[in-house]
Structure 1
Amino acid sequence: MNNKLSQHIDTYIKQKQYRLINSILLFKDGQPIVEKYYNKFTKNSRNNIKSIWKSILSVCTGICLDKGYIKSIDEPVANYLSEFAADNHPYHKLITIRHLLNMSSGIYWNGGIHYHCPMLEQLWRSDNCLEHLADIAMANVPGAKFVYKEWDVILLSAVISKAAKMDTYEFCKTYLYEPLGITSDEWAKLPGGINYNIDRDFAIEAHSDLSANDLAKLGFLLLNKGNDILSESYINAAVQPSPNAQEYGSLFWLFEGGFACRGYGGQGINVVPGKNIVYVIQATPTSSSKSYEDVFRLCMDYLDKGSIM
């Protein structure tokens, strides 16, 4: 462990009054450099992962491809979802799995304020989430515009479930979580039975809580190019910029030198392949969004000075 860096982080967090941060882990060359817990958190404490779940779905998509459940990410979603093969809209049959991965389905979305989203509330009140989504207006031709939204990951979860003929949670548990030694409660289900990471109470995501060490396992999976769980070719493609958003890949955020899984309220896994670094941060999300990327930059600046022991 690097005690000087740990103290440096402590001082910075106190100065910035970042009282909601719960866990910070930093690994370099496979070795722990920093392991910090706050607010009575421990290595076994579980935290809401929020939209890190989106990146987990991307990994599950790659596993589907590797196992032949999905032939190509350029397949139309209508091949798996009959609701989008029913001619509700001429654009529906143009939506591909790739469009879901890079948030460009073209389906209209208004996110509301934080997790108080009227469109999501309407979805939960529906009888069937896929029928409901198929009735929502199309705002753009699929592939034309990046819009960060929940619809695309809900549809991706449905595609994984239909393709593999099992709940998306069961697929993730069998092919990702259990091989990595990760334990998770079952995910929530929307009307119609499709797994989703947000519970009916939009302020919580108890069904997708993971520990910081669980997130580190996911980070190492990505850093080490799959570890026989996921193909290297999928990871390499997933962290390339999408056509309409240079900062976004296939449900991964991109930054200079690396990529990230990010969730509302400050959840994050940052992977820096060139420096062999995995960084994890967790925080208690509130109605006011927080981002703590400055803590990651602080760590990187410190390591760049060559003082890691």
Structure 2
Amino acid sequence: MSNLSFFDLEKKLKRIRIEGFVIHKGNTRFFEYVKNKKVLEKPTKVYSITKTIVSILIGIMVDKGLLKNIHEPIQNYFPEILESNDPQKKEITIFHLLTMTSGLQVGNFEGSKNWVKFILGQPIIHKPGSTFQYNSGDSHLLSAIIQKISGIPTALFAEKYLFRPLGDSFSRSY
């Protein structure tokens, strides 16, 4: 990118009220925009970054041939769905989890001892694939699928196949 393009990028970032933005490749920082010095000192809520990273990891699994088809039913990974009285649960696919269209009711699973069991136990309130509903449970089920396929925790899979290849500036030790 030319300096003029970076100038235009900075104008756009200011206009849409971005607080900080960095373009980094290898050990070289090509561009950095910071709204003010306070941005560098205060923690920032990142909200949906986990959902984005988990979706990228599913893409990596597809790319590596570890996951053949995002349209396969999640019952292949959670056989307890076969015991469900709700036949619509058998229709939920990995794609539905990626697009947050599983149809599962959003529930507060953090207090549960078994998050996967709690999430899968939620009733279907929309036909799978029909309605977008922001649902952290869908992302958690994707993480569980990553762990089942890879045999390692999702964080380690991310370190090995996403962050380490991006370079030292993105890696961290576990």
- What's the CA shift for 1:156? 0.9
Q: Secondary structure at the match of 1:35?
A: strand
The one-letter code matched in structure 2 to 1:183 is S
2:143 and 2:154 in contact (8 A); partners too: yes
Consecutive unaligned residues of structure 2, counting only runs of 5 or more, are none
Asked whether 1:140 is paired with 2:126, we answer yes
2:10 and 2:33 in contact (8 A); partners too: no
Q: Which has the higher contact order (CA 8 A, sep 6+)?
A: 1
1:23 and 1:36 in contact (8 A); partners too: yes
| Whole-Å separation in 1 of the counterparts to 2:133 and 2:57 | 22
Asked whether 1:155 is paired with 2:141, we answer yes
- What's the CA shift for 1:53? 2.2
1:22 and 1:39 in contact (8 A); partners too: no
The one-letter code matched in structure 1 to 2:33 is K
Residue of structure 2 in register with 1:244 after alignment: none
1:81 and 1:162 in contact (8 A); partners too: no
Residue of structure 2 in register with 1:130 after alignment: 116
Q: Secondary structure at the match of 1:85?
A: helix
The one-letter code matched in structure 1 to 2:84 is D
- What is the identity percentage for the equivalent residue pairs of Structure 1 and Structure 2? 32
The one-letter code matched in structure 1 to 2:78 is L
| Whole-Å separation in 2 of the counterparts to 1:131 and 1:78 | 13
| Whole-Å separation in 2 of the counterparts to 1:48 and 1:138 | 30
The one-letter code matched in structure 2 to 1:39 is K
The one-letter code matched in structure 2 to 1:94 is E
What is the TM-score of this pair, normalised by structure 1?
0.46
1:107 and 1:139 in contact (8 A); partners too: yes
Larger strand percent: 1
Alignment CA distance shift 1:152-1:7 (3 Å)? closer
1:81 and 1:158 in contact (8 A); partners too: no
Larger helix percent: 2
Residue of structure 2 in register with 1:36 after alignment: 33
What is the TM-score of this pair, normalised by structure 2?
0.77
Structure 1 runs (4+) greater than 6 angstroms displaced: none
RMSD between aligned alpha carbons? 3.2
| Whole-Å separation in 2 of the counterparts to 1:131 and 1:180 | 34
Asked whether 1:92 is paired with 2:89, we answer yes
Alignment CA distance shift 1:135-1:9 (3 Å)? closer
| Whole-Å separation in 1 of the counterparts to 2:11 and 2:47 | 28
Which structure 2 residues correspond to residues 1-309 of structure 1 after superposition, within 5 A? 1-2=3-4, 22-25=19-22, 32=30, 34-37=31-34, 38-41=36-39, 47-109=44-106, 119-120=107-108, 123-181=109-167, 182-184=170-172
Count of aligned pairs between the two proteins: 164
| Whole-Å separation in 1 of the counterparts to 2:132 and 2:9 | 38
| Whole-Å separation in 2 of the counterparts to 1:57 and 1:130 | 16
Alignment CA distance shift 1:90-1:76 (3 Å)? same
- What's the CA shift for 1:41? 4.9
